[in-house]
Protein backbone atom coordinates (compact mmCIF):
# COMPACT_ATOMS: atom_id res chain seq x y z
CA UNK A 1 0.00 0.00 0.00
CA UNK A 2 1.36 3.47 -0.95
CA UNK A 3 2.27 5.72 1.95
CA UNK A 4 0.10 8.87 1.95
CA UNK A 5 2.94 11.44 2.05
CA UNK A 6 0.61 14.28 0.95
CA UNK A 7 -1.77 13.48 3.83
CA UNK A 8 1.11 13.23 6.32
CA UNK A 9 2.44 16.58 5.11
CA UNK A 10 -0.99 18.20 5.61
CA UNK A 11 -1.30 16.76 9.10
CA UNK A 12 2.22 17.89 10.07
CA UNK A 13 1.43 21.45 8.78
CA UNK A 14 -1.70 21.47 10.93
CA UNK A 15 0.19 20.44 14.07
CA UNK A 16 3.20 22.71 13.54
CA UNK A 17 3.40 26.09 15.30
CA UNK A 18 4.23 27.94 12.07
CA UNK A 19 0.62 28.29 10.90
CA UNK A 20 -0.79 29.40 7.56
CA UNK A 21 0.37 32.84 6.45
CA UNK A 22 -1.91 35.12 4.45
CA UNK A 23 -0.87 37.72 1.87
CA UNK A 24 -1.44 40.37 4.58
CA UNK A 25 1.09 38.62 6.84
CA UNK A 26 3.64 38.67 4.01
CA UNK A 27 2.81 42.31 3.17
CA UNK A 28 3.97 43.22 6.68
CA UNK A 29 7.32 41.52 6.07
CA UNK A 30 8.00 42.99 2.65
CA UNK A 31 9.97 46.05 3.80
CA UNK A 32 12.18 44.14 6.25
CA UNK A 33 12.88 41.34 3.75
CA UNK A 34 13.72 43.90 1.12
CA UNK A 35 16.23 45.58 3.45
CA UNK A 36 18.03 42.25 3.72
CA UNK A 37 17.96 41.77 -0.07
CA UNK A 38 19.71 41.23 -2.36
CA UNK A 39 20.49 37.90 -0.76
CA UNK A 40 23.51 37.56 -3.03
CA UNK A 41 25.14 34.37 -1.76
CA UNK A 42 21.86 32.43 -1.70
CA UNK A 43 20.84 33.73 -5.13
CA UNK A 44 24.19 32.87 -6.68
CA UNK A 45 24.14 29.39 -5.11
CA UNK A 46 20.72 28.74 -6.65
CA UNK A 47 21.42 30.17 -10.09
CA UNK A 48 24.75 28.39 -10.44
CA UNK A 49 23.01 25.04 -9.88
CA UNK A 50 20.25 25.56 -12.44
CA UNK A 51 20.32 23.99 -15.88
CA UNK A 52 19.25 26.62 -18.40
CA UNK A 53 19.51 24.32 -21.43
CA UNK A 54 16.57 25.11 -23.71
CA UNK A 55 15.23 27.72 -21.28
CA UNK A 56 13.99 31.04 -22.62
CA UNK A 57 11.08 31.66 -20.27
CA UNK A 58 10.81 31.27 -16.48
CA UNK A 59 7.99 31.37 -13.92
CA UNK A 60 9.15 32.41 -10.43
CA UNK A 61 6.44 31.35 -7.95
CA UNK A 62 6.44 33.27 -4.64
CA UNK A 63 8.96 35.67 -6.16
CA UNK A 64 8.89 38.11 -3.21
CA UNK A 65 10.87 41.28 -3.84
CA UNK A 66 12.69 39.74 -6.80
CA UNK A 67 15.77 38.13 -5.30
CA UNK A 68 15.81 35.59 -8.14
CA UNK A 69 13.38 37.11 -10.66
CA UNK A 70 15.57 40.18 -11.34
CA UNK A 71 18.85 38.29 -12.06
CA UNK A 72 16.84 35.71 -14.02
CA UNK A 73 15.40 38.45 -16.25
CA UNK A 74 18.96 39.40 -17.18
CA UNK A 75 19.59 35.83 -18.23
CA UNK A 76 16.51 34.63 -20.13
CA UNK A 77 14.09 36.09 -22.67
CA UNK A 78 11.14 36.56 -20.30
CA UNK A 79 10.32 36.07 -16.61
CA UNK A 80 6.84 35.74 -15.12
CA UNK A 81 6.97 36.65 -11.42
CA UNK A 82 4.04 35.43 -9.31
CA UNK A 83 3.25 36.30 -5.68
CA UNK A 84 0.09 36.92 -3.64
CA UNK A 85 1.52 39.84 -1.63
CA UNK A 86 0.97 43.26 -3.25
CA UNK A 87 3.66 44.80 -1.01
CA UNK A 88 6.29 42.26 -2.11
CA UNK A 89 5.36 42.94 -5.73
CA UNK A 90 5.59 46.71 -5.22
CA UNK A 91 9.19 46.28 -4.05
CA UNK A 92 9.90 44.01 -7.00
CA UNK A 93 8.48 46.59 -9.43
CA UNK A 94 10.70 49.28 -7.92
CA UNK A 95 13.79 47.07 -8.39
CA UNK A 96 12.72 46.21 -11.91
CA UNK A 97 12.39 49.90 -12.88
CA UNK A 98 15.68 50.76 -11.18
CA UNK A 99 17.44 47.99 -13.12
CA UNK A 100 15.77 49.03 -16.41
CA UNK A 101 14.32 45.53 -16.84
CA UNK A 102 11.44 45.26 -19.30
CA UNK A 103 11.17 41.49 -19.92
CA UNK A 104 9.35 40.70 -16.66
CA UNK A 105 5.60 40.35 -16.08
CA UNK A 106 4.12 40.41 -12.59
CA UNK A 107 1.12 38.27 -11.59
CA UNK A 108 -0.55 38.98 -8.24
CA UNK A 109 -1.88 35.49 -7.58
CA UNK A 110 -1.68 32.81 -4.91
CA UNK A 111 -0.84 29.13 -5.24
CA UNK A 112 -4.57 28.38 -4.88
CA UNK A 113 -5.81 30.85 -7.55
CA UNK A 114 -6.41 29.94 -11.15
CA UNK A 115 -3.25 30.59 -13.20
CA UNK A 116 -5.22 30.72 -16.46
CA UNK A 117 -3.59 34.03 -17.45
CA UNK A 118 -0.06 32.81 -16.70
CA UNK A 119 1.56 31.31 -19.79
CA UNK A 120 3.38 27.99 -19.74
CA UNK A 121 7.13 28.49 -19.48
CA UNK A 122 10.29 26.45 -20.04
CA UNK A 123 11.32 26.49 -16.37
CA UNK A 124 9.16 26.88 -13.23
CA UNK A 125 10.88 27.78 -10.00
CA UNK A 126 9.75 28.15 -6.39
CA UNK A 127 12.30 29.43 -3.93
CA UNK A 128 11.46 29.40 -0.20
CA UNK A 129 7.78 29.87 -1.03
CA UNK A 130 6.09 26.48 -0.80
CA UNK A 131 3.73 27.91 1.82
CA UNK A 132 0.93 25.49 1.05
CA UNK A 133 -0.84 22.69 2.87
CA UNK A 134 -1.70 20.77 -0.31
CA UNK A 135 1.87 20.06 -1.43
CA UNK A 136 0.89 17.53 -4.05
CA UNK A 137 -1.44 20.05 -5.75
CA UNK A 138 1.32 22.70 -5.74
CA UNK A 139 3.94 20.35 -7.20
CA UNK A 140 1.45 19.18 -9.83
CA UNK A 141 0.55 22.77 -10.73
CA UNK A 142 4.15 23.93 -11.17
CA UNK A 143 5.07 20.79 -13.12
CA UNK A 144 2.16 21.36 -15.55
CA UNK A 145 3.27 24.95 -16.06
CA UNK A 146 6.81 23.98 -17.10
CA UNK A 147 7.67 22.57 -20.51
CA UNK A 148 11.19 21.42 -19.50
CA UNK A 149 12.07 21.47 -15.82
CA UNK A 150 11.29 22.70 -12.31
CA UNK A 151 13.26 23.71 -9.25
CA UNK A 152 11.87 23.96 -5.72
CA UNK A 153 14.07 25.21 -2.90
CA UNK A 154 12.75 24.46 0.54
CA UNK A 155 13.96 24.00 4.11
CA UNK A 156 15.84 21.10 5.66
CA UNK A 157 14.76 20.34 9.22
CA UNK A 158 11.54 21.52 10.76
CA UNK A 159 12.42 24.81 12.39
CA UNK A 160 13.26 28.27 11.09
CA UNK A 161 14.64 29.09 14.52
CA UNK A 162 18.26 28.56 15.44
CA UNK A 163 19.04 25.91 18.08
CA UNK A 164 20.26 28.66 20.43
CA UNK A 165 16.82 30.34 20.40
CA UNK A 166 15.07 27.01 20.91
CA UNK A 167 17.38 26.27 23.83
CA UNK A 168 16.59 29.66 25.40
CA UNK A 169 12.87 29.06 25.02
CA UNK A 170 13.27 25.66 26.61
CA UNK A 171 10.28 24.19 24.78
CA UNK A 172 10.05 21.63 22.07
CA UNK A 173 8.14 22.73 19.01
CA UNK A 174 6.19 20.61 16.55
CA UNK A 175 8.44 20.77 13.48
CA UNK A 176 7.29 21.83 10.05
CA UNK A 177 7.35 19.13 7.40
CA UNK A 178 10.53 19.62 5.37
CA UNK A 179 11.86 18.89 1.86
CA UNK A 180 11.73 15.10 2.14
CA UNK A 181 7.94 15.11 1.70
CA UNK A 182 8.32 16.86 -1.67
CA UNK A 183 10.91 14.28 -2.81
CA UNK A 184 8.55 11.44 -1.90
CA UNK A 185 5.44 13.05 -3.40
CA UNK A 186 7.30 13.75 -6.66
CA UNK A 187 8.44 10.12 -6.70
CA UNK A 188 4.81 9.02 -6.34
CA UNK A 189 3.96 11.33 -9.25
CA UNK A 190 6.53 9.49 -11.37
CA UNK A 191 9.09 12.32 -11.19
CA UNK A 192 12.63 11.64 -9.98
CA UNK A 193 13.97 14.74 -8.27
CA UNK A 194 17.65 15.48 -7.76
CA UNK A 195 18.49 17.02 -4.38
CA UNK A 196 21.30 19.46 -3.73
CA UNK A 197 21.97 21.14 -0.39
CA UNK A 198 22.80 24.81 0.08
CA UNK A 199 24.36 26.07 3.32
CA UNK A 200 23.55 29.68 4.11
CA UNK A 201 24.08 32.08 6.98
CA UNK A 202 21.32 34.59 7.59
CA UNK A 203 22.37 37.83 9.32
CA UNK A 204 19.23 39.41 10.68
CA UNK A 205 19.48 42.89 12.20
CA UNK A 206 16.90 44.00 14.78
CA UNK A 207 16.50 47.59 15.96
CA UNK A 208 14.51 46.72 19.09
CA UNK A 209 13.84 43.72 21.34
CA UNK A 210 10.21 43.84 20.13
CA UNK A 211 11.35 43.36 16.52
CA UNK A 212 13.41 40.34 17.62
CA UNK A 213 10.41 38.90 19.52
CA UNK A 214 8.14 39.45 16.51
CA UNK A 215 10.48 37.47 14.27
CA UNK A 216 10.31 34.55 16.73
CA UNK A 217 6.48 34.86 16.95
CA UNK A 218 6.29 34.72 13.14
CA UNK A 219 7.92 31.30 13.28
CA UNK A 220 6.26 29.69 16.32
CA UNK A 221 3.25 31.79 17.31
CA UNK A 222 2.53 33.34 20.72
CA UNK A 223 5.17 33.49 23.44
CA UNK A 224 4.74 32.98 27.18
CA UNK A 225 5.82 35.86 29.52
CA UNK A 226 8.74 33.70 30.74
CA UNK A 227 9.89 33.16 27.15
CA UNK A 228 9.66 36.88 26.40
CA UNK A 229 11.95 37.64 29.36
CA UNK A 230 14.49 35.06 28.18
CA UNK A 231 14.48 36.31 24.60
CA UNK A 232 14.87 39.95 25.70
CA UNK A 233 17.89 38.84 27.69
CA UNK A 234 19.25 37.06 24.60
CA UNK A 235 18.64 40.19 22.47
CA UNK A 236 20.76 42.28 24.84
CA UNK A 237 23.64 39.83 24.36
CA UNK A 238 23.60 39.91 20.53
CA UNK A 239 26.47 41.76 18.81
CA UNK A 240 25.78 45.38 17.83
CA UNK A 241 26.50 46.58 14.29
CA UNK A 242 27.57 50.12 13.27
CA UNK A 243 24.00 51.46 12.96
CA UNK A 244 23.16 50.33 16.51
CA UNK A 245 21.02 47.34 15.49
CA UNK A 246 21.68 43.98 17.11
CA UNK A 247 22.41 41.10 14.76
CA UNK A 248 21.23 37.54 15.08
CA UNK A 249 23.12 35.04 12.93
CA UNK A 250 21.66 31.73 11.93
CA UNK A 251 23.12 28.90 9.83
CA UNK A 252 20.57 27.27 7.64
CA UNK A 253 20.43 24.41 5.13
CA UNK A 254 18.18 24.52 2.07
CA UNK A 255 17.36 21.64 -0.22
CA UNK A 256 17.21 22.39 -3.91
CA UNK A 257 15.03 19.87 -5.76
CA UNK A 258 15.17 19.70 -9.54
CA UNK A 259 13.12 17.59 -11.93
CA UNK A 260 12.54 17.31 -15.65
CA UNK A 261 8.91 17.64 -16.64
CA UNK A 262 9.21 15.72 -19.88
CA UNK A 263 10.57 12.17 -19.80
CA UNK A 264 14.06 11.86 -21.38
Ligand X SMILES: C[S@@+](CC[C@H](N)C(=O)[O-])C[C@H]1O[C@@H](n2cnc3c(N)ncnc32)[C@H](O)[C@@H]1O
CA nearest neighbour of 87 among 64, 61, 59: 64
Residue with smaller CB distance to ligand X, 62 or 205: 62
Least Å from the CB of residue 78 to ligand X: 18
Least Å from the CB of residue 37 to ligand X: 7
Contact 146, 261 (CB under 8 A): yes
CA nearest neighbour of 255 among 203, 200, 197, 214: 197
State which residue has the least CB distance to ligand X. Answer: 64
Residue with smaller CB distance to ligand X, 64 or 258: 64
Residue with smaller CB distance to ligand X, 125 or 234: 125
∠ CA 11-154-57, nearest 5°, is 120
Residue with smaller CB distance to ligand X, 88 or 193: 88
Q: Report CA 8 to chain centroid distance, whole Å.
A: 21
Residue with smaller CB distance to ligand X, 166 or 198: 198
Least Å from the CB of residue 214 to ligand X: 16
Sites of contact with ligand X (CB under 6 A): 26, 39, 62-64, 67-68, 83-85, 88, 110-111, 127-129, 131-132
B/e letters for 187-206, b = 16+ CB within 10 Å, e = fewer, are eeeebebeeeebeeeeebbb
- Cα–Cα distance, 205 to 202 (Å, whole number): 10
Least Å from the CB of residue 33 to ligand X: 7
Least Å from the CB of residue 184 to ligand X: 21
Amino acid sequence: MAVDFAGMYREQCRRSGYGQKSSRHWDQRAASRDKRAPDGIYTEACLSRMDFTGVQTVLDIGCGTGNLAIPLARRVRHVHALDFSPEMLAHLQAHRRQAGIKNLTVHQLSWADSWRGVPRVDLALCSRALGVTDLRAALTKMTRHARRRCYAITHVGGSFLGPDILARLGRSIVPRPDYIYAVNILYQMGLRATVDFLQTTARMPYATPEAFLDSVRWRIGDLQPREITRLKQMYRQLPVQADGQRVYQHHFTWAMLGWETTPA
